């Protein structure tokens, strides 16, 4: 962003920055409108025809199916095509004289039967799994010991992700937080790792009424500074705590034994509203 001409009070956007020099580039005044991904909804029993539309004339619609942000060399959308498996679709409009639109992201579930709430994270695959810099892999410099110190997942690196939350097959909220690998021993070279999702002031709308909750768990709501900011509703309204991070946590110590140990009591109390041994 800069002044339209030197000394002018009008501000505008420039495609090419010109630090310490006159703003001689062609100004751009607006962004293209976000496209729409069709059909509506997220959960389908069978193959669908995917369509992407925009209300603006003369725009190219570009899309990706791997979670990455569409850019000016991504695939161009020409006509509807079939989707027969769960896929995350991301699309942007590219119009002459305008900046590319914000990305529209939609995860489409086909032939799935989930009973638990779902969190869908989308980003460029290399940011998670790329050998050089992916935050979930060993990478080129792990020390050959039990914890693989020096591996990519030990670095304090934050990557951009798109977050979607679904409950009872209904879309609840989406936003664009940052993501980091979380924990100490939980970073060890085991497949499942914990993630810390960090809300920033530019992650979306200022308020949301989304509630994360479950039987016996504290409520987790989202009315904070940005759409991703959650609050633990474990105190009266006057004393509520407002964190700015959401954790997708795996157990650390004893992790190889814990999944089996937790499954037994969960199955024993499945379907019960009260603790075993107590009656109404």
Specify the 3-state DSSP secondary structure of 136.
coil
CA-to-CA dists, residue 132 to 79, 135, 139, 141, 151, angstroms: 36, 9, 5, 9, 10
Q: Which residues contact 94 (CB under 8 A, 6 or more apart)?
A: 32, 59, 60, 61, 62, 72, 100, 101
Q: In this predicted structure, what is the pLDDT of residue 86?
A: 96
The β-bridge relationship of strands 118-122 and 104-110 is unpaired
**14-27 mean pLDDT:** 62
Per-residue confidence band for 225, with pLDDT thresholds at 50, 70 and 90: very low
pLDDT at position 199 over 60: yes
Give the dihedral sign, CA 262/268/271/273.
negative
pLDDT at position 151 over 80: yes
- How many domains does the chain divide into? 2
Q: Which residues contact 91 (CB under 8 A, 6 or more apart)?
A: 35, 37, 52, 61, 62, 63, 70, 77, 103, 104
Residue that finishes a domain, picked among 57, 86, 113:
113
Per-residue confidence band for 52, with pLDDT thresholds at 50, 70 and 90: very high
- Please tell me the number of Cα atoms within 13 Å of 16 on its side-chain side: 7
Is residue 24 one of the residues assigned to a domain? Answer: no
Q: What is the pTM of this model?
A: 0.71
Per-residue confidence band for 34, with pLDDT thresholds at 50, 70 and 90: very high
Q: In this structure, are 96 and 156 located in the same domain?
A: no
pLDDT at position 272 over 60: no
Q: In this predicted structure, what is the pLDDT of residue 247?
A: 61
pLDDT at position 224 over 70: no
Q: In this structure, are 120 and 218 located in the same domain?
A: yes
Q: In this predicted structure, what is the pLDDT of residue 223?
A: 33
Look at 257 and 219; give whichever has higher pLDDT: 257
CATH code (residue 88) = 2.60.40.10
Domain span at 90: 32-113
Is residue 14 one of the residues assigned to a domain? Answer: no
Q: In this predicted structure, what is the pLDDT of residue 6?
A: 59
**22-36 mean pLDDT:** 75
* First-to-last C-alpha distance (Å) of the chain: 65
Q: In this structure, are 130 and 228 located in the same domain?
A: yes
Q: In this predicted structure, what is the pLDDT of residue 108?
A: 98
Three-state SS annotation for 182-222:
ECCHHHCCCCCCEEEEECCCCCCCCCCCCEECCCCCCCEEC
pLDDT at position 194 over 50: yes
Is residue 277 one of the residues assigned to a domain? Answer: no
Q: In this structure, are 155 and 80 located in the same domain?
A: no
Q: Which of 48-57, 86-95, 135-144, 222-231 shows the lowest per-residue confidence on average (mean pLDDT)? A: 222-231
Output the DSSP codes for 40-70. S-SEESS-EEEEEE-SSTTEEEEEESSSPPP
pLDDT above 90 covers what percent of the chain? 38
Q: In this structure, are 106 and 149 located in the same domain?
A: no
Q: In this structure, are 180 and 243 located in the same domain?
A: yes
Look at 268 and 239; give whichever has higher pLDDT: 268
pLDDT at position 161 over 70: yes
Q: In this predicted structure, what is the pLDDT of residue 183?
A: 78
Q: In this structure, are 92 and 125 located in the same domain?
A: no
Q: In this predicted structure, what is the pLDDT of residue 128?
A: 95
Q: In this structure, are 36 and 150 located in the same domain?
A: no
Contact 138, 145 (CB under 8 A): no
């Amino acid at each position: 962003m800069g002044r339209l001409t030197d000394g002018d009070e009008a501000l505008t956007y420039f495609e090419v920055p010109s630090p310490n020099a006159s703003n001689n580039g062609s100004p751009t005044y607006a962004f293209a409108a976000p496209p729409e991904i069709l059909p509506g909804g997220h959960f389908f029993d069978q193959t669908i025809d995917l369509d992407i539309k925009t209300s603006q004339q003369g725009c190219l619609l570009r899309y990706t199916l791997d979670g990455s942000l569409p850019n000016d060399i991504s695939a161009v959308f020409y006509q509807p095509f079939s989707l027969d498996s769960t896929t995350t679709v991301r699309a942007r409009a590219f119009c002459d004289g305008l900046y590319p639109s914000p990305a529209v992201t939609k995860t489409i579930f086909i032939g799935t039967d989930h009973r638990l709430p779902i969190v869908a994270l989308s980003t460029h695959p290399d940011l998670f799994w790329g050998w050089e810099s992916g935050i979930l892999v060993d990478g080129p410099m792990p020390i050959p010991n039990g914890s693989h110190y020096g591996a990519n997942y030990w670095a304090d690196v934050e990557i951009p992700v798109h977050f979607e939350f679904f409950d009872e097959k209904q879309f609840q909220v989406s936003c664009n937080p940052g993501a980091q690998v979380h924990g100490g021993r939980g970073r060890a070279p085991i497949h499942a790792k914990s993630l810390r999702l960090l809300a920033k002031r530019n992650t979306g709308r200022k308020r949301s009424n989304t509630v994360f909750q479950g039987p016996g768990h504290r409520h987790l709501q989202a009315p904070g500074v940005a759409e991703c900011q959650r609050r633990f509703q474990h105190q009266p309204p006057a004393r509520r705590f407002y964190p700015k991070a959401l954790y997708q946590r795996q157990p650390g110590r004893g992790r190889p034994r814990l999944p089996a140990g937790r499954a037994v009591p969960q199955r024993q109390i499945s379907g019960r509203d009260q603790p075993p041994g107590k009656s109404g």
